Amino acid sequence: MKSFDVFHHPAHGLEAVKTGFSWPGLCFGLIWALYKQLWWLALGLLLLTPLLVLLVFQLPDSLAQTKPLLIAAVQLPLFCLVGFKGNQWQAANLQRRGFALLRRLQAASPENAVLAIAPSELPPTQPYHSVWYKQFWPWFILGILGMSITLGTTMLVIATKNPPGLIADNYYDVGKGINTSLERENLASRLKLKASLVLDNDKGTANLQLQGYSNPPQLVLNLISPTQPERDRRVILQLQGDGSYFGQMPDLVEGRRFVELIGQEGGQDWRLFEEEQLASGQSVRLGE
């Protein structure tokens, strides 16, 4: 048997609310809140989603695989709170809507709790006039409008903070740049150049082994983010006595990157270019 509080309204009749934990509130938070007409709770759950998107969007690329777990970790305490407090909120909401508490009783279900109330326990029927702000449809329409404004503002903030930096205005210059890149890559192919790159984020270093018919005193390593130009990094690699190249990284670099290596041979630039998933201590092969 479960414990129920039974409420009465002159126009809407009897309503039973279970005391204690609400399993439907835990499992079906938003749907349950809408069904129980807990509009402020439903609005809060609706607003949580775009706020989480904004929060996760700002995390570094190194946490890309854990982002779904982070969203779940934030949502779980919220739904547990709905489970623990949901029935109390429902009872308080009924009283705000004009329901009066009759009594608490033991029953197997809400339907049985309502049937256990004898007609003699009901107060005398009085004329009832409901005000507009206690009706369903005004808040339903306002909720749709509010959600549209919230989602639109979220998309505007994301678009403003992350402009499409990969879009070019001067297509002629872009075309010339493509031709230049192809010439540099063809030169690297003729020189049979290959490279092995290892990044150490703990020490902030980049080590590279170069194979082929070129051994310039200095190389330029560009680590380019596919979508966020502010995350691009450039590292100058200097030739060491053992034939390897060494450089200092300005900060941590992880995740998906375009890796570009540029050097010179005979007064001409050559270029190795790959798209790689970078991780500290992991070897990345270029030119294969």
Q: Looking at the predicted structure, is the pLDDT value of residue 136 above 50? A: yes
Contacts of 232 (CB under 8 A, 6+ apart): 222, 223, 224, 225
Q: Looking at the predicted structure, is the pLDDT value of residue 142 above 80? A: no
Q: What percent of the chain has pLDDT over 70?
A: 85
Sheet holding 194-200, edge to edge: 268-278, 255-265, 218-224, 233-239, 245-248, 205-211, 194-200, 283-286
Separation between Cα atoms, residue 210 and residue 271, nearest integer Å: 12
Q: What is the mean pLDDT of residues 259-268?
A: 91
Q: What is the mean pLDDT of residues 87-112?
A: 91
Tracing tokens 């966020």 back to the chain, one arrives at: 228
Query: In angstroms, how far is the first alpha carbon of the chain from the final one?
Result: 71
Cβ atoms of 16 and 101 closer than 8 Å: no
Please name which of 116, 105, 120, 269 lies closest in space to residue 187, comparing C-alpha atoms: 269
Nearest 5°: the CA angle 258, 264, 270 is 45
pLDDT score recorded for residue 63: 65
Tell me which of 56-60, 174-178, 243-247, 257-261 is least confident. 174-178
Cβ atoms of 24 and 36 closer than 8 Å: no
125 falls in which pLDDT band (50, 70, 90)? low
**Quick check: helix, strand or coil at residue 198?**
strand
Separation between Cα atoms, residue 199 and residue 2, nearest integer Å: 62
How far, rounded to the nearest angstrom, does the alpha carbon of residue 95 sit from its chain's CA centroid? 37
Q: What is the pLDDT of residues 233-243, one digit of tens each?
A: 999 999 999 99
Separation in Å, CA 142 to CA 46, 131, 136, 169:
13, 16, 10, 42
| pLDDT greater at residue 91 or residue 230 | 91
pLDDT score recorded for residue 171: 44
pLDDT score recorded for residue 120: 80
Separation in Å, CA 278 to CA 29, 229, 257:
39, 17, 7
State pTM to two decimals.
0.45
Q: What is the mean pLDDT of residues 195-224?
A: 92
